[in-house]
């Protein structure tokens, strides 16, 4: 296990094999973060990479203060997985592509009526969300964007299981090997940005004293954003299932940008996750790039404190977004990047984004998984390959 846990200092640990490449800038950002007032521990995960001042793919535990900047501007970003009843062997990508249509547009009245018939719980959930936003003093305008994926690394992806490592765990879920699954990665859309911007304007990047009126106000807004993100993922799924005329059962839904109260090493404090999946909420997904496998993994609960009860949330970037087009535009056209080596399809009609999100810009997910397994943090349940990945219909090139 020692080869998979690097102790940078008494406050900083990195979960990564000796062979896994990590940017120096990301390591430096963990050191900067560890020096913040009240910061007790920082754990970098195998998908660690530099963010805007703070590392992504990391967890942070502080006492006495919490730091909204460590959660970032997409509060509640996370992943939800559903099992559908679409037989993988009969799935026709041309037909599915056409049926899914445009998910970038906001939901109109006719579609709302259809979705409410499909899921009668939606009106109540949206009413509760509206109340949470109002209680936090937040504008209700973001409700209009519910059911949209957003840009960046967000996606909705139809997958199929192609290998099972633990039949017993699969047997306890609703997962079916012969049918497609849907994985949705999205968050609170512009709402999280509004919340972070208000904090930074008022307090810069300073933390908030535990129990202060400012901390209470931020946490109220943060929790409303978590609620928004979960409803948003549900609506994205509902839109897709309605258009594909299929049934689906949710398997999991977890956030990976949060701050929550926690007890670590006997101390009460605040556990921040930035691009880090919780390891104490059951099964989680570890997605690769759009031309790589994704893994369903089971956390090893007894090893939780080693990683601050957190796991990698994906393969992790190895190229900056601004570098991608220059590296790739002479090697592949957008049309070529819309097809994968696994026979899958990518819907991304945005010339800049299709290069920024190219598979080459990400680490190999097996290298990230290997570090988690090697450190004794997870067990592999199953492996899936991408069938169709929706990024955006966008403005065509």
The DSSP string of 167-209 is HHHHHTSS--TTEEEEEEEE--THHHHHHHHHHHHHHTT--EE
- Strand, helix or coil for residue 163: strand
Question: Which phi and psi angles does 181 have, rounded to 5°?
Answer: -110, 155
CA–CA distance, 215 with 38 (Å, rounded to integer):
15
Contact between 164 and 382 (Cβ < 8 Å): yes
Provide the sign of the torsion angle of the four alpha carbons 207, 277, 78, 128, taken in this order: negative
Q: From the candidates 199, 256, 309, 313, which is the catalytic residue?
A: 313
How many Cβ atoms are within 10 Å of 124's Cβ, its own excluded? 9
Upper half-sphere CA count for residue 7 (Cβ side, 13 Å): 6
CA distance 156 to 81: 10
313 is catalytic: yes
Show Cβ contacts of residue 250 under 8 Å, excluding neighbours closer than 6 positions: 80, 81, 82, 234, 237
Catalytic residue set = 313
């Amino acid at each position: 296990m020692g080869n998979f846990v690097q102790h940078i200092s008494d406050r900083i640990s990195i979960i990564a094999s000796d062979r896994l490449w990590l940017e120096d800038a990301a390591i430096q950002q963990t050191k900067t973060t560890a020096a913040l007032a009240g910061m007790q521990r920082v754990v970098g995960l195998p998908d660690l990479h530099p963010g805007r001042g703070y590392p992504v793919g990391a967890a942070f535990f502080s006492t006495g203060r919490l730091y909204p900047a460590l959660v970032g501007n997409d509060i509640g970003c996370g992943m939800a997985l559903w099992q559908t009843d679409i037989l993988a062997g009969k799935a026709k990508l041309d037909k599915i592509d056409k049926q899914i249509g445009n998910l970038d547009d906001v939901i109109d009245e006719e579609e709302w009526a259809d979705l409410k018939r499909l899921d009668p719980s939606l009106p109540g959930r949206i009413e509760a969300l509206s109340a949470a936003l109002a209680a936090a003093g937040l504008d209700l305008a973001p409700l209009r964007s519910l059911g949209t994926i957003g840009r960046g690394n967000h996606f909705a992806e139809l997958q199929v299981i192609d290998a099972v490592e633990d039949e017993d765990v699969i047997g306890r879920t609703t997962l079916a090997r012969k049918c497609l699954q849907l994985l949705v990665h999205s968050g609170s859309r512009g709402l999280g940005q509004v919340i972070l911007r208000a904090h930074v304007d008022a307090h810069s990047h300073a933390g908030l004293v535990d129990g202060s009126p400012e901390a209470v106000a931020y946490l109220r807004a943060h929790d409303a954003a978590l609620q928004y993100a979960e409803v948003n993922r549900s609506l994205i799924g509902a839109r897709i299932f309605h258009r594909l005329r299929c049934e689906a059962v949710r398997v999991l839904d977890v956030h990976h940008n949060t701050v929550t109260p926690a007890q670590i090493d006997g101390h009460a404090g605040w556990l921040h996750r930035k691009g880090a999946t919780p390891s104490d909420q059951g099964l989680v997904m570890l997605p690769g790039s759009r031309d790589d496998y994704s893994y369903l993994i089971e956390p090893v609960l007894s090893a939780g404190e080693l990683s601050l009860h957190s796991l990698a949330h994906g393969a992790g970037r190895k190229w900056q977004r601004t570098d991608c087009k220059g590296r790739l535009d002479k090697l592949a056209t957008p049309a070529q990047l819309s097809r994968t080596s696994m026979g899958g399809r990518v819907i991304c009609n945005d010339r800049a984004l299709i290069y920024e999100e190219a598979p080459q810009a990400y680490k190999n997910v097996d290298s990230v998984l290997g570090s988690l397994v090697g450190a004794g943090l997870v067990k592999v349940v199953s492996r899936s390959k991408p069938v169709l990945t929706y990024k955006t219909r966008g403005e065509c090139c």
